[in-house]
Structure 1
Amino acid sequence: MSDSSSSGSGGSAASVPARPTVPLVAPVGPDGTAASARGEPAEAMREVARDRDHLFLLHEALVDAERESSLEARLEVVVNAIRKIGFGRVLLSLRDAELNQTKLVSAGLAPEDVRELRDRPASGIVWKRRLNSLERFRVSQSFYLDASDEWIAREFHGGLPSRLAPSDDVQWNPRDALLVPLKGNDGRIIATLVLDDPADRHRPTLARVRTVELFGQQVAYMIEQAVLIEIARRRADRLARLHEVGVMLARSLDEDDIVAELARQIGRVMPCDGIVIASPDVEENFVTTLFRSVRGVRRPRAPQPL
């Protein structure tokens, strides 16, 4: 796990269909016979069954997530589902246009590790540098952070300490991690997904990496939808306030009331410490302050020269 500065609308949904008890597809050889019929190891069959189960897990997670009312709750559902496909720890970091962390959702991490990652995240500048240098670690659309590599060890400072012991897989290190950048429709990275502590203590297979990426695509969609909904909400709110101003202007002929209401609505649309509404007189070369408020306190001001 490598993301700190020191370490790197709800609604009802259809019922989930029952999982089939047999693989959906059985691997076959060139002669058309099933692997088991040829006496080959059943690992290929088990791999197909695992892939099937992971897809059903994704479907169930999406159904459950739709029942949640907030983005964070939805992301928690999916992050916990990702953990179930074979990773002990999962860290999802939402990022702004500069790649700075804006929100953190995790599963499987100790509370002190979550605090460390939330309070001391690596800056967007650091993440830009990292992502620009990761191409040689690419696996599909992700990157495998090999802790035995000197650059990875130096750049990510070894990551958070793992709770796993080394395995007989010499290609796997307990400090290894899988990094999955999540991109929006415009190609910009909007989040990063970091996974480690695999249950089998082996490097993830390409099939498992692609399964994680499939989950990641759904996470990216959720994030973008939430952003669009928030933009639409703010626009609707502003239009409603403009309508209120229009009603006020039509209802009152008192200039002070109109100006005060206009200032109040401006303060609601654009939160700020002070509001000044002034009327300049170019011919007489002075400006009259019609309304002046600082932190909610009216502060009249005499006419001033332009």
Structure 2
Amino acid sequence: MSIEPRAEVRSRPSATAGAVVDADEATSWADGATHEALLVIAEGITQLAGFEVAAVSVVRDSQHMQVMAVAGSDEARETLQGTFTPITRLMEELEHAQDWGMFKFVAHEALDSQVESWGWVPDIEPIDGDDAWHPMDLLVAPLYGPDGELRGTLSIDVPSDGRRPDEPHRRILNRYAEQAARALYIAVEREAFAEQVRVLSATREVVRNAARERNIGVMLEKIQPSLVEGFRALGMWVHTFDEDGHGLGAVYSGDGNRIQMPAHLVSIAERAAAASWRAQRVGMVSRHAPHDAQIAQVSDAEFQEILQFLEGIGVGSLLFVPMGAGRECLGSLVLTRALGDAEWTDAEVDAALEVGRDLGRAMLNARALERERELVRELKALDDYKSKLIATLSHELKSPLTAMLANIELLQHGEDLDPSASEVLAAVDRGAVRLVRVVEDLLLLAKVGDPHLPLLTRPVPLHDVVDDVVNLTSIADQRRVSVDVVGDLDDMVALGDPAEMDILVTNLVTNAMKYSGAGSPVTITLARAGEWVVLSVQDCGIGISPEDRHQLFREFFRSDSAQVKAQPGTGLGLTIVDRILTRHAGRIEVDSELGEGSTFRVFLPAP
């Protein structure tokens, strides 16, 4: 038959004939609505124009068109539906055509009888007469859009009366061709818009998946299905550069498998990715790729080598997409299609570049997060080492200090002790006691700061803990500080470790007493705030400066204030409080003004 153009139906078996793809192997890129619209055009011709078979083809790229709708013959439809034809073959056929307006007619007499034909040819016998229609006759109307570009073709075959159309019949056919051209343009534009929406939707899905994942390997694994489906690709792989902007020498697919590529091809990809990112362009590799669409800074010889490698692994074409952020190229994304698949559309190329930018930003964020994680791991290891060192030194110091205090006590009670020696021993005793206090605080700090130490919690009545602390603290008598405990005391139960609760309250209360003047009040308040039990310790002492408040919970921190330095202390009490609260998933707030006092407010989980 003469359906769409001769090269598509029964062309010569030349080098370009292989571009035609069987219907079972071809991929139809039209959606259901577009196919229905084109089929209506073809069926209208068969019902009203006096021809029994009609086919509509659509230009798919700069070199090929595809049969999208066939009406009038099931046999023709099965043979032709979805097949691709080189546009150059259509133009070669039309060089022999008679101009019938929009339709072009190529009589079988103009063909080379020595050339073998193939495809679907109607099984009809020509009638008698000079105007009889021959099975090898070709009647095709190239259909152009408003911009003058070829959009497709309308081919018809098997006239109902068996004769070639006369002049009046040709005028009727031309009117149908004009209507078909308008309908085809609308259908193609609609399909192009739907294609853009589809690709952009896939792009958004990729961005959402990539933005949520901070591990590069897991990120690539998650986006692989979206990219392959959205771009209708055979597969994909990603080549990432290291921190210095050089290739890692390995390429990985989205499914976690490693792609084995020759080292020099990897080097070419590294160079091309950097050049493509600078130019902000996507490269293409295929037998039919226009020269200006090929990968940046890849020579013709390198292009052929890449093409040969791809065909060896069953890949017919690829998109080479640079990935980066700002001026930095971070690698490349490769999307592949199988041999015989359609070429990449402009919408897919534009969307691929956006994907490269989005993935570049996601990779940069993932790398930054990984560096932060590594730094956290290093800091944690350093903190663990510090804790172990403190614990070890404290244990080693405790035994000799205990021996020193025992011997000092023996010497102080000895007979005939010289008064000057007694003063020296008293000073040594005070120093040793201070060292013991530091060691005890260090051991306590190491204990409550150990992340491996299990926390055994139970309901703890805070009122009882506060009463025990106040009763056992002698500093109140020494400084004549008044202590008041207020609030709803009977129902103040926190969930925690009793021993650590006692340490927490002791440190807060003794701290308030220590830095309060003689006769100054200290108020301890217990209250409930939702799921929290709140312990507040308020004093009217020397207060804390804004600068010092930022360092209150740092180990060994003591203010430079002369009033603070006049009081004994290790600088570890508030650090221990903070560590205990961290273990109990609580928190602490501090309000303070110099010369007006301080309030420490602790939030502990209620049972």
- TM tier, shorter chain? 0.5 to 0.7
- 1:293–1:193 distance in 2 versus 1, CA, 3 Å: same
Q: Are 1:187 and 2:148 counterparts?
A: yes
Q: Which residue of structure 2 lines up, in the alignment, with residue 171 of structure 1?
A: 131
CA contact (8 A) 1:90 1:106 kept: yes
Greater shift, 75-84 or 238-247, is seen at 238-247
- Tell me the TM-score normalised to structure 2 length: 0.32
How do residues 138-177 of structure 1 correspond to structure 2 at under 5 angstroms? 138-147=99-108, 149-151=109-111, 160-163=121-124, 165-167=126-128, 169-175=129-135, 176-177=137-138
How many residue pairs were aligned? 236
What is the DSSP-based 3-state SS (H/G/I as helix, E as strand, rest coil) of the residue aligned with 1:280? Answer: coil
Letter in 1 for 2:33: S
What is the DSSP-based 3-state SS (H/G/I as helix, E as strand, rest coil) of the residue aligned with 2:242? Answer: strand
- 1:273–1:162 distance in 2 versus 1, CA, 3 Å: closer
Greater shift, 271-280 or 191-200, is seen at 271-280
Q: Which residue of structure 1 lines up, in the alignment, with residue 182 of structure 2?
A: 221
- 1:101–1:286 distance in 2 versus 1, CA, 3 Å: closer
Q: Are 1:75 and 2:35 counterparts?
A: no
Letter in 1 for 2:148: G
Q: Are 1:7 and 2:10 counterparts?
A: yes
What is the DSSP-based 3-state SS (H/G/I as helix, E as strand, rest coil) of the residue aligned with 1:281? Answer: coil
Q: Which residue of structure 2 lines up, in the alignment, with residue 57 of structure 1?
A: none
- 1:170–1:77 distance in 2 versus 1, CA, 3 Å: same
Q: Distance in 2 between matches of 1:106 and 1:211?
A: 20
Q: Deviations over 1:193-222 (max 9, x none)?
A: 232332233332334323323323333334
- 1:90–1:233 distance in 2 versus 1, CA, 3 Å: closer
Specify which of 41, 54, 60 is matched with residue 96 of structure 1: 60
Q: Distance in 1 between matches of 2:80 and 2:205?
A: 44
What is the DSSP-based 3-state SS (H/G/I as helix, E as strand, rest coil) of the residue aligned with 1:297? Answer: coil
Specify which of 233, 256, 274 is matched with residue 297 of structure 1: 256
CA contact (8 A) 1:98 1:125 kept: no
Q: Which residue of structure 2 lines up, in the alignment, with residue 40 of structure 1?
A: none
Q: Deviations over 1:72-102 (max 9, x none)?
A: 2222222122112211222333343455442
Q: Deviations over 1:198-252 (max 9, x none)?
A: 2233332334323323323333334333333333334334444555566567767
Q: Percent identity?
A: 17
What is the DSSP-based 3-state SS (H/G/I as helix, E as strand, rest coil) of the residue aligned with 1:70? Answer: helix
What is the DSSP-based 3-state SS (H/G/I as helix, E as strand, rest coil) of the residue aligned with 1:170? Answer: coil
Q: Aligned-pair RMSD on alpha carbons?
A: 4.4
Letter in 2 for 1:86: G
CA contact (8 A) 1:249 1:258 kept: no
Q: Which residue of structure 1 lines up, in the alignment, with residue 544 of structure 2?
A: none
Whose radius of gyration is greater, 1 or 2? Answer: 2
How do residues 1-306 of structure 1 correspond to structure 2 at under 5 angstroms? 1-2=1-2, 3=6, 7-8=10-11, 70-84=33-47, 85-97=49-61, 100-109=64-73, 111=75, 113-117=76-80, 123-134=86-97, 137-147=98-108, 149-151=109-111, 160-163=121-124, 165-167=126-128, 169-175=129-135, 176-244=137-205, 254-256=214-216, 259-260=219-220, 263-264=223-224, 266-267=227-228, 269-270=230-231, 271=233, 273-276=235-238, 278-282=240-244, 287=247, 293-294=252-253, 296-297=255-256
What is the DSSP-based 3-state SS (H/G/I as helix, E as strand, rest coil) of the residue aligned with 1:179? Answer: strand
- 1:214–1:234 distance in 2 versus 1, CA, 3 Å: same
Letter in 2 for 1:280: D
* Larger helix share, 1 or 2: 2
Q: Deviations over 1:138-187 (max 9, x none)?
A: 1112222333x3437667959824535514x4333444442222223333
* Structure 1 residues not aligned, in runs of 5+: 9-67
* Structure 2 residues not aligned, in runs of 5+: 12-30, 260-265, 271-607
Q: Deviations over 1:89-133 (max 9, x none)?
A: 22333343455442243233361x444445987654432311234
Q: Which residue of structure 2 lines up, in the alignment, with residue 16 of structure 1?
A: none
- 1:173–1:133 distance in 2 versus 1, CA, 3 Å: closer
CA contact (8 A) 1:6 1:120 kept: no
CA contact (8 A) 2:143 2:151 kept: yes
- 1:153–1:186 distance in 2 versus 1, CA, 3 Å: farther
- 1:156–1:100 distance in 2 versus 1, CA, 3 Å: farther
Greater shift, 206-215 or 254-263, is seen at 254-263
Q: Distance in 2 between matches of 1:173 and 1:118?
A: 24
Q: Which residue of structure 1 lines up, in the alignment, with residue 443 of structure 2?
A: none
CA contact (8 A) 1:274 1:292 kept: no
What is the DSSP-based 3-state SS (H/G/I as helix, E as strand, rest coil) of the residue aligned with 2:124? Answer: coil
